[in-house]
């Protein structure tokens, strides 16, 4: 494995289509929050990157960094969840347009189980379509199709409290994919799952990602997960976070459980772990999460 920039990763995936704007672009973005007492907190500083729009597929970008380095701030800026508080400095673009707020081209999956407790699986998956004004028959048909795709057929009329953690994350994934977003933002979606269920969800995610051809951004503290899922890994510095290293990694060649037990995969994880521990300045640090459930 070797470090590579956006051009190298794009060339490996077939190159960006001429004339198409990047999916996401950060230009020198700094974000400072001001507390009620006037105290300033710099969440991210001078973050710059570009994710090209690759024809016929989307890239999978994994974000690694210590707690508090601003990874979630990056996500919120992409999602448009900071319309009242835009970047303090710099600009964020989605498909060549400045981000002004949320949009149907972006979907989010969180670590916390986000299903509505009073809704069935079918109603939860169809909820976003309902908000978009899709007629009931059509939205239920689309919801059933995605429920089947995430292997929950037969659970349409169950409520969240009747589901396991892995099943509830399948519901969240189906609800997001039913909207056909072009960008999927996943903030530690499998962090609360045990290792075996996590591997199963990683395989399912790869399968569905290939089908929808979306660009996926994943926040994870699990380096093994980042190496397995990512086309590229963005490593962020200690707070205030900035992007200090970009690593291109090969696509998975088998299912998660088998691949992640191999010596070759362990070597890749170790190489990324060393880069994560150094965080761009060559100074080793303790506490990198090399695999399993990751550091919480």
Residue 152 DSSP label: -
The pTM for the full model equals 0.85
Q: Which residues pair with 49 in a beta bridge?
A: 26
We report the CATH number of the domain holding residue 239 as: 3.40.50.300
- Residues 135 and 157: their CA atoms lie apart, in Å, by 19
Domain assignment present for residue 134? The answer is no
What pLDDT was estimated at residue 17? 58
- Residues 168 and 117: their CA atoms lie apart, in Å, by 11
Judging by DSSP bridges, how do beta strands 24-34 and 40-51 pair with one another? antiparallel
Domain assignment present for residue 268? The answer is yes
Domain assignment present for residue 19? The answer is yes
- Residues 20 and 193: their CA atoms lie apart, in Å, by 38
Question: For residue 163, which of 115, 200, 128 has the smallest C-alpha distance?
Answer: 115
Strand ordering across the sheet containing 60-64: 106-110, 183-187, 215-219, 60-64, 232-236, 243-248
The list of the chain residues with pLDDT below 50 reads: 1-14, 282, 284, 286-296
Could you report the per-residue pLDDT of 256-290, keeping only the tens digit for each?
Answer: 999 999 999 999 999 999 999 988 664 545 444 44
- Based on its alpha-carbon atoms, the radius of gyration of the chain, rounded to whole angstroms, reads 19
- Residues 117 and 156: their CA atoms lie apart, in Å, by 14
Could you report the per-residue pLDDT of 166-175, keeping only the tens digit for each?
Answer: 888 889 999 9
Residues 6+ apart with CB under 8 A from 178: 125, 126, 128, 129, 142, 143, 146
Domain assignment present for residue 257? The answer is yes
Number of domains in the chain: 1
Domain assignment present for residue 274? The answer is yes
Domain assignment present for residue 14? The answer is yes
Domain assignment present for residue 34? The answer is yes
Domain assignment present for residue 119? The answer is no
Domain assignment of residue 38, given as a range? 6-105+181-278
């Amino acid at each position: 494995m070797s470090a590579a920039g956006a051009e190298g990763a794009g060339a490996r995936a077939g190159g960006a289509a001429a004339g198409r704007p990047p999916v996401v672009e950060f230009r020198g973005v700094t974000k400072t929050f001001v507390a009620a007492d006037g105290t300033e907190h710099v969440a991210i500083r001078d973050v710059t990157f570009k994710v090209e729009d690759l024809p016929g597929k989307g890239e999978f970008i994994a974000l690694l960094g210590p707690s508090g380095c601003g990874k979630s701030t990056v996500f919120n800026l992409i999602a448009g969840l900071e319309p009242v508080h835009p970047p303090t400095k710099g600009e964020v673009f989605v498909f060549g347009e400045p981000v002004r707020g949320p949009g149907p081209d972006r979907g989010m999956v969180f670590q916390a189980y986000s299903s509505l407790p009073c809704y069935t699986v079918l109603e939860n998956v169809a909820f976003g379509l309902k908000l978009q004004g899709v007629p009931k028959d059509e939205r239920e048909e689309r919801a059933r199709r995605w429920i089947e795709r995430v292997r929950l057929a037969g659970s349409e009329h169950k409520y969240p409290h009747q589901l396991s953690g892995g099943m509830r994350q399948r519901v969240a994934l189906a609800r997001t994919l039913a909207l056909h977003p072009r960008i999927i933002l996943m903030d530690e979606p499998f962090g609360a799952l045990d290792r075996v269920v996590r591997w199963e969800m990683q395989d399912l995610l790869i399968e569905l990602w290939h089908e929808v051809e979306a660009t996926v951004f994943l926040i994870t503290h699990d380096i093994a997960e980042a190496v397995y899922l990512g086309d590229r890994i963005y490593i962020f510095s200690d707070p205030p976070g900035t992007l200090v290293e970009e690593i291109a990694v090969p696509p998975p060649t088998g299912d998660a459980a088998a691949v992640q037990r191999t010596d070759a995969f362990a070597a890749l994880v170790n190489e990324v772990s060393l880069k994560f521990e150094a965080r761009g300045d060559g100074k080793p640090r303790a506490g990198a999460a090399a695999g399993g459930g990751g550091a919480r």
